[in-house]
Homo-oligomer: A and B are copies of this chain.
Amino acid sequence: MKNIDVCLSPELIHLHNLNNTIVVVTDIFRATSCMVTGFAHGVKSIIPVATVEECKKLQESGFIAAAERNASKVEGFDLDNSPFSFMDERLAGNKIAMTTTNGTLSITKAKPTAIKVLVGAFLNIGAIVNYLKSQPYDVLILCAGWKGKPNLEDTLFAGAVTEALKDDFFVSEDSAILAMRAYQQAQANLLGYLMNSSHIRRLQGLGIHKDINYCLQKDLYDVVPILRGNELVIL
């Protein structure tokens, strides 16, 4: 039987052997929710980059560029990190370059050794789960967290995927059990569980309740973003 495990922070990814593993990167508030939304609205590809400088270079070479640091848009870029910005019809058919505080860094950390790297959010969780069931590989959910620290919303997503796969995969590692049990505890009211979380407070300070509610919705979209070379595309 295949294994499913959870990595609660990108700073712990080196502890996992990814040779036979699909990594699902998640950054619920808001990078991977933005990516999923963009693909569902016709974005052709997204190049995730780790630094603002790389993102600027791609912008100068013609990409639409999205750069976020500390939950706010970096000056001089085209898009902020709200999923509603990724519904803009002018993005359809276009390539986007993107850097965020946590999410894109996690993608670049998983890339060198994972069999495949997917991008997951509550918005496409059903599509992700179905794809993982269809594949012969182990699974690791990589939580982007906040500047290296685990966070609640990404842990809950990891737990939701683990819960959905627990009859088809071994759930034997402690981080996966912890995340799954947290999701079981939270699932009746995800927002209630998150109400005191650090990132909810950070986002509420920015006045983006609408984004929070949106990112906690399940299965709005049936897309599975996957990394091909340096680009995320949909399967």
Contacts and interface: CB of A to CB of B under 8 A. Distances in A.
A9 B150 CA distance: 10
A53 B135 CA distance: 45
Interface in A146-196: 146-152, 155, 171-175, 177-178, 181-182, 185, 193, 196
B149 A12 contact: yes
Contacts of A182: 178, 181-182
Contacts of A211: none
Contact of A152 (B9, B152, B177): B177
Copies of this protein in the complex: 2
Interface residues of A, number: 29
A36 interface: no
Contacts of A70: none
A172 B149 contact: no
Contact of A178 (B146, B152, B172, B199): B152
A8 B146 CA distance: 14
A123 to B, nearest CB: 21
A196 to B, nearest CB: 6
Nearest to A200: B174
Contacts of A15: 11, 147-149
Contacts of A178: 150, 152, 155, 178, 182
Interface of A: 8-9, 11-12, 15, 146-152, 155, 171-175, 177-178, 181-182, 185, 193, 196-199, 201
